[in-house]
Structure 1
Amino acid sequence: MVDAVVTEAMKKAAVAWVAVGDGPALALWCLPIDDALYVVSGPGEQAAPGLATADRATVSLRGDHGGRIVTFPAAVDRVAPGSEEWETIAPQLATKRLNAPGSAADLAARWAAECTVSRLSPAGELIERGDASEAAPPRETPATRRPRKPFRLHRVRR
């Protein structure tokens, strides 16, 4: 049985934070259809490392005011190109895709050849409910440097 909070949050979702395995949660564009979220990933689309081969993922959704309201486990299924589900889902996804090059039919054909359409459906107990923060300390990077002192033309009195 799917929790009512999950159902309502999925209906309003345009972006979902999806984590595969122990990887970080990535913000992915999604489309809610029939109690599931559909995500397109692959070349020329959003990067979702590991999602194309995963069978489980963790999904976090936000509320009306921007804070996370629910995190739940999801079963990941691929939508096979040419299947009955593909024929109904791919055109809907293609028409909702912002800044898409070409027509919706061309986009769906490219997805069939190069990309993966994944169906994320709730599976299992809620992991977290309520307004919580996804804030984490910044990841380590070699790109940081010590900032320079600001330039002063005249002496600054203390």
Structure 2
Amino acid sequence: MEESAKKSGLVWVRVPDGSQRALWHVWHDGAVHVVGDGDEQPLYGLQDGAETAVTVRSKDKGGRLVSWPARVVEPSPGSEGWKAAVEELKGKRLNAPDTDTLLERWASQSRVLRLEPTGPLAEGPQSMPSSAHAAPPVASAATTRRPAPAALPRLLTRRGRKP
């Protein structure tokens, strides 16, 4: 768990509606830590005490590496656990608009969650399921391809000509 989470930039977390969402994270003190809501990434309704599943993907190939059950714990802002987690998260936060006041903003607007492993690996190198777990794309006009205009080939070949 630790090795794969440290090497990956994203984890997939099961949210209350049953879907999985990608969250940037850090591994610290035996658990995955995420910061969200407010001006940060949405946490999709994850609440303190909830049970969830964390799936780590490969950073280079994007495929699943491991998956485990986890319990959501929300440390109170200002506590020792919260301070240690946000120091790690601050180092991984890319392009923060307010690096000087980032911790104050997280304390007032955002939530820091600790996703603690609660059991053995549900999926691992020797126990991957055969299904892809891929969801079908949402129906949208943007996903429907229309035929190219009939004049397009002529227009493309005329571009290189000089008048």
Whole-angstrom CA distance in 2 between matches of 1:148 and 1:96: 42
1:101 aligns with 2:97: yes
Residue 82 (structure 1) shift: 1.2
C-alpha distance 151-24 of structure 1, shift in aligned 2 (>3 A): same
Looking at structure 1, the residues matched to 84 and 45 of structure 2 have their Cα atoms a distance apart, in angstroms, of 25
1:148 and 1:7 map into 2 onto residues whose CA distance is: 46
In structure 1, distance between residues paired with 2:150 and 2:118: 60
Does the CA-based 8 Å contact 1:58-1:73 persist in structure 2? yes
2:122 aligned with 1:124: no
Partner of 1:26: 21
Flag structure 1 segments of 5+ consecutive residues without an equivalent.
1-5
Higher mean C-alpha deviation, range 132-141 or range 87-96: 132-141
1:38 aligns with 2:33: yes
Which deviates more from structure 2 when the two are superposed, residues 49-58 or residues 20-29?
49-58
TM-score, normalized by length of structure 1? Answer: 0.80
Tell me if structure 2 keeps the 8 A contact 1:10–1:35. no
| Counterpart residue number, 1:73 | 69
Gaps of 5+ in 2: 153-163
Q: CA deviation at 1:41?
A: 0.9
Identical-pair percentage: 39
SS of the aligned residue for 1:17 comes to strand
Query: How far, CA to CA, are the matches of 1:21 and 1:102 in structure 2?
Result: 31
Coordinate RMSD, CA, aligned: 2.3
Give the AA of the match of 1:74: A
CA shift for structure 1 position 62: 1.5
What is the distance in 2 between the residues matched to 1:145 and 1:97?
32
- Offset of residue 55 of structure 1: 1.6
Q: Partner residue of 1:60?
A: 55
Question: Scaled by the length of structure 2, what TM-score is found?
Answer: 0.78
The 1:7–1:103 alpha-carbon spacing in structure 2 relative to 1, beyond 3 Å, is: closer
Kept in 1, the 8 Å contact 2:31–2:117? The answer is yes
